[in-house]
Amino acid sequence: MTAAQVVQLSLDDTINYKVYVSKAVPLADVTVTANLELLVSSRDDSDALRGKIDSALRDFLPVEWEILGQERTSATPGFERLKLKALAKVSADQNRNLVERARLANREGLEFGTISVNRSLRQDEVNQIMKELWFEAVSKANENLPEFNRVSGRQWRIGDVVLGTPDGGNRNRNVKGGYREEMDDLLGELMESGLSGIEKVSLIAGVTLKSTRPQS
């Protein structure tokens, strides 16, 4: 290829920034999982033991509980350590002060451990929320173009948009008597606690603006 045949490609200058969008989502129910640990005597009556467990769970949250499983290990002579997990579905407005409420429900020989909360939306709801946030992020990027043009004296265009970057606000505290929130759907870390019964779904989109570099 001769020098006369070389094609000179125009180069672009770029601006990279992020756009934040969010949507408030009302929730109906959440699933609470409670871990309990008991010290039981070999002489304890099984019905009395179950009554003690049910009473503690109702004092924690006054709903119907399901015992998922239990594990027994030897403790001091004549005693066993019983670990079990209980699950209940509660209204979203009950998802508050869970660690303190569990602590108050402790009693002699019975102690609450980690409390987990699972907040899930139907898949079609998740898809619709994400779609709305994607297009809102692109709309915001378009709205910013005139301002970038004005302050720079140049013409900018959207060159690239990375959608779906989570807003890293995930909280995960998992200690004895602690609290953990889980999501089993696509929202993952995008969920952020807000008012009682309301969650905020947040999204950060990475935006790249391009402008043809002026020729010298």
Q: Which residues pair with 19 in a beta bridge?
A: 205
pLDDT of residue 64: 94
- C-alpha atoms less than 13 angstroms from C-alpha of 70 in its C-beta half-sphere: 17
pLDDT tens-digit readout, 30-46: 889 999 999 888 777 78
- pTM greater than 0.85 (yes/no): no
Interstrand relation of 12-26 and 191-193 (parallel, antiparallel or unpaired): unpaired
d(CA 15, CA 158): 10
Q: From its phi and psi, is residue 161 left (phi > 0), alpha (psi between -120 and 50) or beta?
A: beta
Nearest to 105 by CA among 73, 75, 65, 60: 60
CA distance linking residue 49 with residue 38, whole number of Å: 10
pLDDT of residue 158 exceeding 60, the answer is yes
Q: Tens of pLDDT along 96-133?
A: 899 999 999 999 989 999 999 887 667 787 788 888 99
- Which CATH architecture fits 8-27+121-168+185-212? 2-Layer Sandwich (3.30)
Token pair belonging to 43: 């002489």
For residue 30, the tally of other CB atoms under 10 A from its CB is 20
Query: Per-domain residue ranges for the chain?
Result: 8-27+121-168+185-212, 29-118
Tell me which of 31 and 27 has the higher pLDDT: 31
pLDDT confidence of residue 8: 55
Domain pair 8-27+121-168+185-212 / 29-118, same fold: no
Third-level CATH fold of 29-118: Alpha-Beta Plaits (3.30.70)
CA distance 36 to 71: 11
Over range 184-207, report the average pLDDT.
62
Which uninterrupted H or E stretch holds 77?
Answer: none
Report whether pLDDT(56) > 80: yes
Supply the pLDDT for residue 10.
Answer: 61
